[in-house]
């Protein structure tokens, strides 16, 4: 078997906010997206809701390349948005925006989604980050998908950026997951012995007319239907660029570590989704504040300790990809918190200083606008 290319591609979804009110826009200016397309060619696209915009890096051979690409995309979309008195935020929920105030993008695919999924899809005022890693062999992609699912809750915990919903602190670090769980064909995928078995399951739904193709399967990780990649989809969008690149590095290194095991006729132990989903819930609820289950020990282990072990396992791979610095940044995320922590802290400090809740939420938006462009 030929070694995978391990190329990297990152997709991010941003929200467009009015710079004066800090609220979500209801309709996107007619010429905004065309202007972005002129500067970014095929790297920008509309999303389901008009208050959202999606960008995607080119296929990158290195994490440094991915960083440069993502920085340019964030900066460029922000510059175009500013021409209309708008700003972008890289956060998986808006602190006080409401689903009822935004319109979906008039596009055949989105019209069909709105008709099929009704109120479920109208709640999707959420954004994510998807990371593609080039793994060209279909059976290898399927095999690694089943193994790397173990680490997906850890990735979610590192990326949380959606503590607020409709102006309230939800008590959850990733409220986006609560909304996303209402969609069909989401969550941790089942285990498949081969790509052929996976494809047979997809074909059942396609042939029954339930879905058009595998792009309507929205698992936390999936073999991309468009590219020869394994697409990780569980993460919130990281507000800070450094955090996004660190998560990409972590995912990339874990895939290569699992591939190394396979070459040595070894593999990561397969765990039932019942256990993985418990950690998924804990990451969704607590982020990195509480522990996750160590399935081998049968104990709740502090997140910091689990990540120390996870990082140790991929040291060779971090050196191979020249991303030791990015992997070490995991410790800074754990020490300083994610975007969700900073949002809640900003809100709490504003309220305690005498600001009313509406003013405090606007201050959270201001923080998100600023942090989205750090490092660009």
* Residue showing tokens 């039932």: 272
Q: Are strands 229-232 and 44-46 parallel, antiparallel or unpaired?
A: unpaired
Residues pairing with 212 in the sheet: none
Q: Summarize pLDDT for 229-244 with one digit per residue, the tens.
A: 999 999 999 999 999 9
Give yes or no for a contact between 326 and 244, defined as CB atoms under 8 angstroms apart: no
Mean pLDDT across the stretch 233-258?
Answer: 98
Q: What's the pLDDT score for residue 116?
A: 77
Length of the chain: 376
How many angstroms separate the CA atoms of 58 and 237, rounded? 18
How many angstroms separate the CA atoms of 31 and 86, rounded? 13
Q: What's the pLDDT score for residue 108?
A: 74
Q: What's the pLDDT score for residue 142?
A: 97
Give yes or no for a contact between 16 and 102, defined as CB atoms under 8 angstroms apart: no
How many angstroms separate the CA atoms of 185 and 215, rounded? 11
List the one residue out of 149, 218, 223, 141 whose CA is nearest residue 186.
218
Mean pLDDT across the stretch 185-197?
Answer: 96
Does the structure show a pLDDT above 70 at 106?
A: no
Q: Which one-letter DSSP state was computed for residue 256?
A: H
How many angstroms separate the CA atoms of 300 and 144, rounded? 25
List the one residue out of 14, 21, 46 whose CA is nearest residue 365.
21
Q: What is the 3-state secondary structure (H, E, C) of 65-120?
A: HHHHHHHHHHHHHHHHHHCCCEEEECCCCCCCCCHHHCCECCCHHHHHHHHHHCHH
Does the structure show a pLDDT above 70 at 150?
A: yes
How many angstroms separate the CA atoms of 263 and 167, rounded? 50
Reduced to 3 states, what is the DSSP secondary structure of residue 12? Answer: strand
Give yes or no for a contact between 256 and 320, defined as CB atoms under 8 angstroms apart: yes
Q: Summarize pLDDT for 284-340 with one digit per residue, the tens.
A: 999 999 999 999 899 999 999 999 999 999 999 999 999 999 999 999 999 999 999
What's the whole-model pTM score?
0.96
Q: Summarize pLDDT for 63-79 with one digit per residue, the tens.
A: 999 999 999 999 999 99
- At 47, the pLDDT band (50, 70, 90 cuts) reads confident
Q: Summarize pLDDT for 131-148 with one digit per residue, the tens.
A: 999 999 999 999 999 999
Give yes or no for a contact between 146 and 270, defined as CB atoms under 8 angstroms apart: yes
How many angstroms separate the CA atoms of 110 and 128, rounded? 17
How many angstroms separate the CA atoms of 168 and 43, rounded? 34
- At 8, the pLDDT band (50, 70, 90 cuts) reads very high
Strands of 299-367, DSSP E: 299-301
Give yes or no for a contact between 306 and 294, defined as CB atoms under 8 angstroms apart: yes
Give, rounded to a whole angstrom, the gap between the first and last alpha carbons of the chain: 39
Q: Tokens for 12? A: 């991010």
How many angstroms separate the CA atoms of 248 and 204, rounded? 33
Does the structure show a pLDDT above 90 at 110?
A: no
According to CATH, what is the number of the domain 8-372?
Answer: 3.30.590.20
Does the structure show a pLDDT above 70 at 100?
A: no
């Amino acid at each position: 078997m030929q070694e995978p290319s391990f190329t990297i591609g990152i997709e991010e979804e941003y929200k467009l906010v009015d710079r004066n009110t800090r609220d979500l826009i209801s309709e996107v200016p007619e010429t905004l997206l065309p202007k972005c397309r002129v500067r970014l060619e095929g790297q920008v696209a509309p999303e389901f809701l008009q208050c959202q915009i999606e960008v995607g890096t080119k296929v990158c051979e290195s994490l440094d390349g991915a960083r440069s690409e993502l920085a340019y995309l964030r900066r460029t979309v922000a510059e175009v948005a500013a021409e209309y008195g708008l700003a972008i935020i890289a956060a998986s929920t808006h602190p006080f925006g409401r689903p009822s105030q935004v319109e979906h993008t008039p596009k055949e695919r989105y019209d069909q989604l709105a008709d099929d999924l009704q109120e479920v899809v109208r709640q999707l005022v959420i954004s994510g980050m998807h990371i593609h890693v080039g793994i060209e062999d279909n059976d290898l992609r399927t095999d690694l998908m089943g193994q790397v699912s173990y680490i997906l809750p850890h990735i979610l915990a590192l990326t949380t950026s959606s503590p607020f919903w409709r102006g309230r602190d939800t008590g959850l670090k990733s409220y986006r997951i609560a909304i996303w769980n209402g969609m069909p064909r989401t969550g941790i995928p089942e285990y498949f012995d081969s790509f052929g078995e996976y494809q047979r399951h997809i074909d059942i739904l396609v042939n029954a007319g339930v879905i058009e193709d595998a792009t309507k399967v929205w698992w936390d990780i999936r073999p991309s239907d468009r590219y020869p990649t394994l697409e990780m989809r569980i993460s919130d969008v990281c507000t800070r660029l450094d955090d996004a690149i660190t998560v990409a590095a972590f995912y990339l290194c874990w895939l290569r570590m699992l591939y190394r095991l396979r070459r040595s006729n070894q593999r990561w132990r397969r765990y039932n989704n019942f256990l993985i989903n418990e950690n998924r819930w804990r990451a969704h609820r607590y982020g990195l504040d509480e522990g996750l289950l160590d399935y081998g020990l049968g104990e709740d282990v502090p997140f910091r300790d689990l990540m120390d072990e996870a990082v140790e396992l991929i040291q060779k791979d971090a050196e191979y990809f020249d991303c030791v610095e990015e992997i070490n940044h995991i410790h800074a995320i754990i020490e300083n918190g994610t975007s969700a922590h900073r949002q809640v802290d900003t809100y709490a400090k504003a309220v305690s200083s005498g600001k009313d809740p509406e003013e405090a939420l606007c201050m959270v938006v201001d923080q998100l606008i600023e942090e989205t462009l750090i490092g660009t």
